[in-house]
Chains A and B, each alone.
Chain A
Amino acid sequence: MSFPIDLLINAIIAGLLLGGFYAAVTSGISIAFGILDIVNIAHPAFIILGSYIAYIVNSQFGLDPILTSIAILPAFYALGAVVYQVYYVSFERRGQEALRGLAFFFGLLFITEVVLILVFGVDYRYVNAIYIGPTLHFGFVDLPLRMLIPCLVSLLLILLLQIYLTRTFTGRAIMAVAQDQEALRLMAVNPIRIKRTAFAISIATTSLAGAFLIVIQPVEPSVGRDYIGRVFAICVMGGMGSLPGTVIAAMLLGIVESITATFYGPSWAPAVSFGFLLLTLAFRPAGILGR
């Protein structure tokens, strides 16, 4: 029996495309969890929210989901700022973020899911766009546009984020806020404001990630749960807060999942990311690219 090499190559390429999308999904958590140390397990809920907004606008007005999500970035930014303010006042300032902060985000995750179920039911929803459907063919290699477009936009988003974080004053302050709040104070920068900005950016990315998600696959309210493990697995594997590390870890996970799905069946795919995460946590908590 010959090994199906074309199947393997296609699985790897599909995995890379999937990984590009995972990178967008995780970039926000890399900022919130990796840099700010805020364990926002509700992150995937915001992504699903982004998906449903893209769905509503698309089905009502026929607008492109990805362009829509870019247009509503400011709204998600504002939402993130509000959530951070509540989190800061209620937990961080009181030094209770450990137990109660986690419960808070878990509650948000759950509320979002239940509200979406109440409003939209548990049916799968999908969007229409010209790039959903066509596939580019190069020999035996398939490049579905619905995967390729999100992947490319995602990499662009992460490039912009990386430039912002390393080249601008606010960006550098964000990178520094976790390590040395005192130094920031001495530079007359308010660390709370910086953290709020960073968290707001983190939530803003979910608008785009949500649009990508619904472009790639139909969405129902509980889909987000599968992403909790993925985003944290990627964030930890990528070395907590490093965007280049996030991209590499995301690609890696995408490839492993894609190969698993191709050769063992898709029902095992969720266990792959979570299993990866468990192993990473147990044996290499600093991530594959470890700091």
Chain B
Amino acid sequence: MRSWLFTLILAVAGAALFALSRFIQNDYFFFAGYVVLQYIVLSTAWNILGGYCGYVNFGTAALFAIGAYTTVALHKLLVTSRIYPMSMPELIVIGGAVSAVVGLGIGYLTLRLRGAFFSIATLALAVVIQTIITNWDYVGGSRGAYVIRPPSAPLVGSYIQYLFLVMLVLAVISVAVARLIERSRLGYGFATIRDDEIAAEASGVPTLRLKLIATTLSGALMGMAGAPLPYYVGYLDPASGFNLAYAVNSIAMPVIGGTTTWIGPLIGAVLLGTLQQWVTVTISSAVSLLIVGLLLVGFVIVAPNGLVGLVRPLFVRGKG
């Protein structure tokens, strides 16, 4: 299928989903749906580096929180002091840009090293950034910051519906980007990095540049997913912004869905995200996290190619 056609279908599906959801007069649906959509963005973003290139990033929470805290800072600087009322799309673009730069930076620092060191470095990065934010009083420090949500929103009226729509658009964009990569030269290059970097170089693949593209793109999408968060929660502190659940979910969802193709993270995020929302409401959030952990370990042992691998046992890359 042509990429523009795929994107069009995806967009239409998204629009239909939103139109249908407007009939649901229950705010909880939008609150829960927002989280699931956010996980579609995060797991797709993680998979661009982790699944396609084989570099495991444990720092999702940090890149996500950078997007969120960029919003907090801009909100305080511009919106509260009435210098310039920034709109959500602007905040998302800026949050994404900041996380992209950080992603590029971590890539430069560590991607010359073996894969495992990259993973450890991302863990380290997450803690360093969390410590900096915790000690940065302007954005609330360890006490956290309140962000007052506007009473109504453009286009749709209800602000939570607006946030849901924004995240839906981001989810459509990230899935479309992931599929576009998969079918392009870039996707082939990423796959050779995952398989054998030395052989890739010998075949003319500029591995370092490709990896930097992947970290930048992945970081940008994570930051974009984080940018609306302060408006969603209304109150943001480091413990929630840097919650380990983001890192675990962004790994567990692609691994459970299947990491070699765009549909894996999508399936993983929808199934696992919905399951978690349900278990959190019916039992507790700790149990829902336990389930994610158990599923992650279970899948990597028993079904290493995820649900996609179970459905298509002999999954070979498409014709390209």
Contacts and interface: CB of A to CB of B under 8 A. Distances in A.
Q: A and B bound?
A: yes
A115 B290 contact: yes
A114 B293 contact: yes
A285 B131 contact: no
B107 to A, nearest CB: 11
A41 B118 CA distance: 13
Contact of A114 (B247, B255, B286): B286
A102 B116 contact: yes
B186 interface: no
B109 A106 contact: no
Interface stretch (B18-26, B34-42, B84-92, B296-304): B296-304
Contacts of B124: 229, 232-233, 274-275, 277-278, 281
A113 B287 CA distance: 12
B123 A107 contact: no
Given A107-B252, A275-B128, A281 B109 contact: yes
A89 to B, nearest CB: 8
Contacts of A33: 116
Interface stretch (B9-17, B50-58, B149-157, B210-218): B50-58
A106 B115 contact: no
A117 interface: yes
A103 B56 contact: yes
Interface string A120-133: 00000000000000
A100 B115 CA distance: 12
A277 B125 CA distance: 9
Interface of B: 50-51, 54, 56, 58, 109-110, 113, 115-117, 119-121, 123-125, 127-128, 130-132, 134-135, 142, 194, 244, 247-248, 251-252, 255, 259, 286-287, 289-290, 292-294, 296-297, 300-301, 304
A103 B300 contact: yes
A38 B247 CA distance: 21
Given A41-B120, A110-B293, A268 B300 contact: no
Contacts of A99: 50-51, 54, 56, 194, 259
Contact of A118 (B54, B290, B294, B304): B290
A282 B128 CA distance: 15
Contact of A90 (B51, B58, B300): B300
Query: What are the 10 A-B residue pairs with the smallest beta carbon separation, nearest first?
Result: A271-B131, A107-B297, A274-B124, A111-B293, A107-B296, A110-B293, A282-B109, A100-B300, A39-B116, A114-B290
B109 A104 contact: no
Contact of A278 (B109, B296, B304): B109
B235 to A, nearest CB: 20
Given A100-B255, A107-B252, A278 B297 contact: no
A106 B248 contact: yes
Contacts of A2: none
A73 B130 CA distance: 35
A96 interface: yes
A117 B286 contact: yes
A108 interface: yes
15 contacts: A41-B119, A41-B120, A41-B123, A86-B301, A98-B54, A99-B194, A111-B290, A113-B244, A236-B120, A270-B127, A270-B130, A274-B127, A281-B124, A282-B109, A285-B117
Contacts of A96: 304
Contacts of A225: 127, 244
A168 interface: no
Interface of A: 33, 37, 39, 41, 86, 90-91, 94, 96, 98-104, 106-108, 110-111, 113-115, 117-118, 222, 225-226, 228-229, 232-233, 236, 267-268, 270-271, 274-275, 277-278, 281-282, 285
Contacts of A106: 56, 58, 247-248, 251, 296
A267 B131 CA distance: 7
B119 A39 contact: yes
Residue with the highest number of chain B CB atoms closer than 10 Å, among A33, A268, A278, A285: A278
B227 to A, nearest CB: 24
Nearest to A98: B115
B289 A110 contact: yes
Given A104-B301, A118-B286, A271-B127, A278 B54 contact: no
A267 B134 contact: yes
Contacts of A274: 123-125, 127-128, 131
Contact of A103 (B131, B134, B296): B296
B290 A39 contact: no
A107 B110 contact: no
B192 to A, nearest CB: 14
